[in-house]
Amino acid sequence: MLKDSKIYIAGHNGMVGSAILRLLKSEGYYNLLLRSSSDLDLRDQDQVKEFFEKEKPEYVFLAAAKVGGILANSTYKAEFLYDNMMIQNNVIHQSYKNNVKKLLFLGSSCIYPKHAPQPLKEEYLLTDSLEPTNESYAIAKISGIKMCEFYRDQYGCNFISVMPTNLYGPNDNYDLASSHLVPALLRKFFHAKQNLSESVEIWGDGTPFREFLHVDDCASACLFLMKNYNDKQFLNVGTGVEHSIKQVADLIKDKIDFKGDLVFNTDYPNGTPRKLMDVSRINQLGWRYEISFEEGVENVLRNLESELEGYK
C-alpha cells in the first residue's frame, strides 16, 4: 500500500474508522476516500455500486457498522442483523466487482460461543451457541467473515478479517441506551461527581470479565495487517489482559475521584461470563498493543468533558 494509494475508509466518522483515518494521515497517506452516511448509505445497493464504479478504491477498511452495548443489541435485534449484513454485503461485493486490491473487514469478539474455552482462539468460531443478548450482531459479523473467506476461495480476492476485543477511546458513543461498558461508566461517574450523587448504578453483578483495547491500538493493528497479512484465517486483536466489571468500575471511580458507592443492578443481564482473546497469532506476526487500560482511561478522561457535549 503506497502513500498515494486510493484508500476508502468505510465508517470514517465512527470510533474505529476515525482512529484509522488519524493513523493513515499521520503515516503520510493522503489519497483517502471518505463519505459520511448522509452522503452514502452503505445499506443501499445502488448507491454503493455507483460509488465503487466511480471512485475505484484500491484498498478498503470496512469499519462501518451499526454498533451498541448490551441493551441496544438485545432491543434492536432485527436492525442489528439487517443493517450490518446490508453494509458488509454491499461493500464486500462491490470491492470484488471493482477489483479492490485488498479489503480489511472489522468484526467483533462477540462472534464466539457464549461458553467457549478461554482464552478465545480463532478456531472456536461456530463450535457452540452464541450469547443471546448480542446474537443478531454476532451472526452478522460471522457472515462478514465467511463472505471474505468465500470471496477469497471463489474469486481470489485478498479480503482479510480482524476481530477486535472491546474497544474504547476518542469518538466513542456515550449514549447510555446504546453505549458499551467503558463509555457508559465514564459518563455515569463523571456526571455523578458533578451532581454530588451518592452512588452510581452498574448493570449486572460486576463479576463478568472483559478485555479492553484502546481504539488507537486497534487502528495500528489494522494498518499492520493491511501491510503484512494476506491469509484466509481471521485474526483476533486484543491485549490478552482481562478485568472484571467491578475492577473497571473501581478504576474509573478512582480516576474520576468519585466518593460515592457502587450499586450493582442485577435486574440487568451480565452477558457472557468471560471474554478474553487469544492474541498469540497476531503477536507472532509482530504486532502487540501499546496502551495499557489504565493509561487509556487516563487519556480519555483528558478530553471527556468535550466528548460528552451533546449528551444529556
Please identify every residue annotated as catalytic.
137
Residue 71 domain boundaries: 7-170+212-239+276-292
60 inside domain = yes
Give the pLDDT confidence score for residue 312 in this predicted structure.
Answer: 66
Q: Residue 72 has which C-alpha cell?
A: 441496544
Give the pLDDT confidence score for residue 270 in this predicted structure.
Answer: 81
144 inside domain = yes
64 inside domain = yes
262 inside domain = no
Q: For the chain, what is the domain count?
A: 1
19 inside domain = yes
Residue pLDDT, tens place only, 228-249: 999 999 999 999 999 999 999 9
Give the pLDDT confidence score for residue 103 in this predicted structure.
Answer: 98
List, for the chain, all residue ranges whose pLDDT scores fall below the cut of 70. 312
207 inside domain = no
Residue type, 121: K
Residue type, 274: R
The three state secondary structure string of 127-187 is: CCCCCHHHHHHHHHHHHHHHHHHHHHHHHCCCEEEEEECEEECCCCCCCCCCCCHHHHHHH
310 inside domain = no
CATH number at residue 35: 3.40.50.720
301 inside domain = no
Give the pLDDT confidence score for residue 68 in this predicted structure.
Answer: 73
Cis preceding-peptide flag for 117 (omega within 30 of 0):
no
Distance between CA atoms of 200 and 154, rounded to whole angstroms?
52
Residue type, 3: K
What burial letters (b/e) apply to 213-232, b meaning 16+ CB within 10 Å?
Answer: bbbbbbbbbbbbbbeebeee
Task: Tell whether pTM > 0.85.
Answer: yes
Containing 19, the helix (H) or strand (E) segment is helix 15-26
